[in-house]
Amino acid sequence: MDKKMLQRTRIFIYLVIVIFIVLLLRLAFLQVYRYEYYWARAEKNRLRILPITAPRGEIFARDGEQLVTNRPGFTVSLVDLGQGYNENTITYLSRLLAMDEAEIWQKIDSQFYRRYLPVRLKTDVSMETVSKIAERRLEYPGVLIEVQPIRNYVHGKFLAHVLGYMGEGVVPPWVEEHWEETGYEYQQGEPVGQAGLELAWEPLLRGEDGGIQVEVNSTGQAIGEFERVEPKPGHDLYLTIDASLQLVVEEALNETVEDLMAGNNRYAGEAAAVVLDPRCGAILAMADTPVYNPNTFSEDFPILEQDPHRPLVNKVIEEHYPVGSTFKMVTAMAALQEGAITKEGRVFCGGTITRYNATKSCFRGTVHGSLNILQALQRSCNIFFYEMGLRVGVDTLAHYCREFGFGSPVGLTDIFGEKKGIVASREFKRNLYQEAWYPAETMDAAIGQSFHSITPLQLANYTAMVANGGIHYRPYLVEKVVDCEGNLVMVAEPEVLHKMEVEQAHWETIQQGMSLVTTPGGTGARMADFPVKVAAKTGTAQVVGRDGSIPAHSLFVAYAPFEEPEIALAVFIKHGEDWRGSTSLPVARKILEAYFQIPTD
Amino acid sequence: MFDRHLLKNFDYQLFLLVLLICAYGLLVLSSATRGVAGDDPFFYVRKQAIWIAIGFGLMLLVVSINYLQFYRVSWYLYAANLVFLGAVLFVGKEGVGAYRWIDLKFFDFQPSELAKIIIIITLARLLADIEEEKPKNLAVMFPFLIHVFIPMLLIFLQPDLGTALVFIALLFGMLYMAGFPWKNLLALAGAGLAVSPLLWLRLHDYQKLRLLVFLNPDLDPLRYGYQLKQSMIAIGSGGLVGKGLYQGSQARLQFLPAQHTDFIFSVLGEECGFVGALVLLVLYFFLIYRILKIGSLSKDHFGAFICVGVATMILFQVLVNVGMVLSIMPVTGLPLPFMSYGGNSLLLNMLSIGLVLNVGIRRHKIQF
């Protein structure tokens, strides 16, 4: 090594010496000069961090009605004062809080890495428990009462499936992955949204926890506050839901289902309805029955789980059903656009039709005579649509189903879990039964029977598409997001997912047909006296049962006002078509009355 | 390939120093982690001991290969390094908000650790290749800057600010030893300072907070500020001779979230006091001294530069880690060499020492 390098090596070593001396001086300062001070602080080192849970964002309806808020609740926690945890204290708490000692120890163990934080044992304890602990504070050091926000669903079961609920459980793995990708960190074991908006909007609803760095005394009470970091409350959601309309929908569904069940219809018990704005996709009301009460979800869970009508399932999006004749606008559009019939073209209904060795009859054996497409829709003639189905074929029919948004989720992302449903097609049958499609089955498919299975949301979206001339808007529930200071974080923008390319005149034809449904002679003639002109379609979805006497599902879709549609709706009453006739129509009528503020008679 | 005569020049002192520091580290680790892993109180100690054993094996393996072989393959090493660092950004495993690891099933490989030694080797070659007179010229510096900045940028993107800073230290340490004039190095430092505000803007909020929190712990009282305060209480309360191994009250309460990794020095300070800390720093001093000594005896510039690089790396990490724990340096999360728990950093340090020993035993041009 040359001389210059040797010299530089020497300088390097001097630098090392200087650095080490600096470090040693600092060490000496802390360990020798300031020893007493730090020794005293370590001796009574009870510097702890008490986390302050951020209040979760609140949820409001479009009219400002408060739906979800937070109320203060008491949480019992245990803090390590430096001597570990006292067996007596644990025994005492286990009795007082009705928890197993093992459970308490497990909670303590799960926080081993962060022992300077209190261990939360039980949230939302009663005032009585709090006063008992306060009385015996000196006997059981380290027991802490914290005030934490508890989620409060103001109207109990109202809008429950949309709102969701909170729990300390885990979230579905795909949600967790999604959050990881978007950089949202959530702590296992902390309360987290479990369904509905609470789950899907968790990252925005949850705020940022704060905390206090405090010194606690020998009984665990905070003495003198040190540093405090205020929690950041979560963002508030303002929904597209019209609370008063939603209330009408929920009450109508509940009454209907209760009536059916009281009338010895042992199949009834579930129903769903959705109201959309066909001009943008905003969901004004979205209800189903039965639901859970999010305030008491965990206590009720064992019962909810057993309920045959599945209150845990949001039937508007997570369930799909046969929809019967409400399907016929699909066949009508396929036939018109593919040239299988014109607006004036007529078909003769003699009550039955026999093709491909299969004889099928019109609904309850009715004979309609000669009718055009408008009359066929008005009276829901099966023979007419069997004929149309055969003229266009199953593949074309399936294509139009997909055009109308069937067979895949319609795009609601404000809550998770939307099902795709089923479109009757050759592929579907082949995959299910490994069997070829029979031409006669095309007839069933053309009137909404066969394998078709559609979610109530898909049905409402399809009705909205008929109303607005084929535009598929993404349905949405959250109108805007506002932060805790009132700043706008996000405003919903209508999003067109698909636009059907068909002749404008065909829309008008189908719309006209639907408007005739609510006139005398139409299947919805009970709406004839309604002051606003309503376009609608009835549906009766037969369900094949062993004894054949199972009541059909009752369906009703509608939009109004006919000339300038503002709302589109779908009502589904499971097994709701018994000897009394349609039960979905009265529900739809109540919804329309509420929306147009028409006094009921 | 391996000549027994080479053993004559094996630097037993350096080897012994590493062994001592590792043993010291295990002792402190056993205190820092007692009770943490549930049923097995020696879970971390055992794992670390296995890494140390593997590390010594690796060290001897590196010693047996003539270091000039590394000179030959240096460009392949550099390319492989970039591939690893690029890969970690895509297939990396997340931990504490950064993508630093590649999951190899049996081992979470951290390419940024390996990158340090690869940059030492490749930069040493680049510097050894320039002629004696060249360093005077300011423009000659640019290839070296680019050489170091590319991997540094990739590490910065992970983001791992601490490791990225090690590269700056390496650059200065090695350029200095290669004979670049003071004024050139100062110009470089000045340019670095001039662009640092731009870098500051690119930092995440938590990184900024970590860099500033040592100036005022109350900036972040719930995390790093709290951690630093507790670290100071731990060290200060250790006094001259400490509270005795396994007797630290701060350590027992797990006050320091990373007390077995980045904050191991505060456990040492609490339990072994000033004397214990002094012993460790003296060991580090002699370690660095021996490395520089071996470098000064090297038969070629390549070997000398490798030794300087390794010495710079260890010095910088000791300074930044101990400085952080003593709250005179920003929180950057660099491990303490041979002391902090963790396989990647340990293996890398062992490899580096292996290279230095290698330079040492082949210091004569002709061996009999």
Determine the residue among B170, B174, B226 to mutate to test chain A binding: the one whose Cβ has the most chain A Cβ atoms within 10 Å.
B226
Question: Chains A and B: how many Cβ contacts under 8 Å?
Answer: 148
Chain B residues in contact with A82 (beta carbon < 8 A): 249, 253
Give the pLDDT score at A220.
Answer: 59
**For residue A81, is pLDDT > 90?**
no
Distance between CA atoms of A212 and A503, rounded to whole angstroms? 66
CB-CB under 8 Å, B225 with A211: no
Q: Is A213 on the interface with B (CB under 8 A)?
A: yes
The structure tokens listed for A495 are 């999003």
Q: What confidence score (pLDDT) does residue A218 get? A: 58
- Would you call B253 and A210 a contact, using CB atoms and an 8 Å cutoff? no
Instruction: Please state the ipTM of this predicted complex.
Output: 0.93
Per the CB < 8 A criterion, the answer to whether B86 and B96 are in contact is no
Residues on chain B touching A4 (C-beta within 8 angstroms) = 179
A109 at B interface, C-beta within 8 A? yes
- pLDDT greater at residue B3 or residue A53: A53
What's residue A548's pLDDT? Answer: 64
Using a 10 angstrom Cβ sphere, with 0-12 exposed, 13-18 middle and 19 or more buried, the burial of residue A585 is buried
| Confidence at residue A313, expressed as pLDDT on a 0 to 100 scale | 94
Nearest C-alpha in B relative to A185: B97
> Residue A491 pLDDT more than 80?
yes
For chain B, say whether A17 makes contact (Cβ under 8 Å). Answer: yes
pLDDT digits (tens, 9 = 90+) for A271-303: 999 999 999 999 999 999 999 999 998 889 899
Q: Residue A109: list chain B partners with CB under 8 A.
A: 38
A211 to chain B: closest CA residue:
B222
Give the minimum alpha-carbon distance from A113 to chain B in angstroms, rounded to a whole number: 6
How confident is the model over A315-363, as pLDDT tens digits?
999 999 999 999 999 999 999 999 999 999 999 988 888 888 888 888 7
Which is more confident, B364 or B330? B330
In this structure, the number of other CB atoms found within 10 A of the CB of residue A172 comes to 12
Residues of A in contact with B38 (CB under 8 A): 109, 112
Domain ranges across chain A: 47-239, 243-595
Percentage, residues of chain A above pLDDT 70: 94
pLDDT digits (tens, 9 = 90+) for B131-151: 666 666 777 888 889 999 999
Provide CATH code, domain A243-595.
Answer: 3.40.710.10
Is residue B151 within 8 angstroms of chain A, CB to CB? no
- Residue A507: other Cβ atoms inside 10 A: 20
Angle between helices B161-177 and A3-28 (to 10 degrees): 140
Instruction: Provide the pLDDT for residue B367.
Output: 46
| Residue A1, pLDDT above cutoff 80 | no
Q: What pLDDT, in 10s, does the model give residues A167-213?
A: 876 788 888 888 877 778 776 667 888 899 999 999 899 988 888 77
pLDDT, tens only, A387-435 = 999 999 999 999 999 999 999 999 999 999 999 999 999 999 998 888 8
Q: Where are the domains of chain B?
A: 42-361
C-alpha angle with apex B364: B358 to B366, nearest 5 degrees? 115
Question: Between A87 and B320, where is the model more confident?
Answer: B320
In degrees, rounded to 5, the angle at the alpha carbon of residue A519 between the alpha carbons of residues A518 and A523 is: 55
For the segment B182-200, the average pLDDT, to the nearest whole number, is: 87
Chain B residues with CB under 8 Å of A227 CB are 218, 221-222, 225
- Distance from the Cα of B238 to chain A's closest Cα (Å) equals 6
CA-to-CA distance for B92 and B72, rounded, in angstroms?
Answer: 30
The total of other beta-carbon atoms located within 10 Å of residue B76's CB is: 10
Q: What is the mean pLDDT of chain A?
A: 88
Q: Is B237 in contact with A41 (Cβ distance < 8 A)?
A: yes
Tell me the chain A residues in contact with residue B267 when contact means C-beta distances shorter than 8 Å: none
Q: What is the pLDDT of residue B292?
A: 95
Q: How far is residue B357's CA from residue B352's CA, in Å, rounded to a whole number?
A: 9
Nearest chain B Cα distance for residue A5, angstroms: 6
pLDDT tens, B265-302? 999 999 999 999 999 999 999 999 999 999 999 989 99
pLDDT surpasses 70 at B96:
no
Nearest CB partner across the interface for A12, out of B35, B249, B292: B292
Closest CB to A16 among B94, B304, B315: B315
Q: What is the pLDDT of residues B228-243, one digit of tens each?
A: 888 888 899 999 998 8
Which of helix, strand or coil describes residue A455? coil
Assess B303–A contact: CB distance below 8 Å, yes or no. Answer: no
What H or E segment, with its residue span, contains residue B300?
none
Question: pLDDT class for B36, splitting at 50, 70, 90?
Answer: low
- Please give the Cα distance from A149 to A163 (Å, whole number): 18
Name the DSSP class of A217: -
Instruction: Check whether A29 has a pLDDT greater than 90.
Output: yes
Quickly state the pLDDT bin for A140 (edges 50, 70, 90): confident
What are residue A574's phi and psi, to 5 degrees? -65, 130
A12 contacts B295? CB cut-off 8 A: no
Q: Under CATH, what is the fold of the domain A47-239?
A: Penicillin-binding protein 2a (Domain 2) (3.90.1310)
pLDDT band at B368; cut points 50, 70, 90: very low
Position B200 scores a pLDDT of 84
Is the minimum CB–CB distance between A181 and chain B shorter than 8 Å?
A: no
DSSP string, A473-515: EPPBSEEEEE-TTS-EEEE----EEEE----HHHHHHHHHHHH
Q: What is the pLDDT of residue A279?
A: 95
CB of A25 within 8 Å of any CB in chain B? no
Q: Which DSSP helix (H) or strand (E) runs through A524?
A: none
| DSSP string across A144-174 | EEEEEEEEEETTTTTTHHHH--EESS---HH
Does residue A310 surpass a pLDDT of 90?
A: yes
Encoded tokens for B217 = 């712990």
Q: Which of A369, A368, A350, A370 is nearest to A360 (CA)?
A: A350
